[in-house]
Amino acid sequence: MMSRPVSATTTPCPSCRRPAPPRPENPEFPFCSARCRAVDLGRWLTEAYRIPTTAPELEEDEAPVVPDPDGDG
């Protein structure tokens, strides 16, 4: 049996939540693979670009009252 000892301190990949191998053998730590790192980076950039627009909808308060054509004359 050549099963390698699994380290008990495996960090879950931030992208796919699968256990990522530790640093020495995994240059993409804390991600499990370069693909997951790219995915997470892309997601981060997407959220960074998406600036929350909290501009309140300025509504014209006190709208001009439409004169009643059938008013008292």
Nearer to Zn ion, 15 or 21 (CB): 15
Smaller CB separation from Zn ion, 21 or 36:
36
Closer Cβ to Zn ion, 10 or 67, answer by number: 10
Least gap, CB of 15 to Zn ion (angstroms):
4
Instruction: List the structure tokens of 15.
Output: 């992208």
* Residue 62 C-beta: closest distance to Zn ion, Å: 57
C-alpha pair distances (Å), 35 with each of 8, 32, 39, 47: 24, 8, 6, 19
| CA 47 – CA 31 distance, rounded (Å) | 19
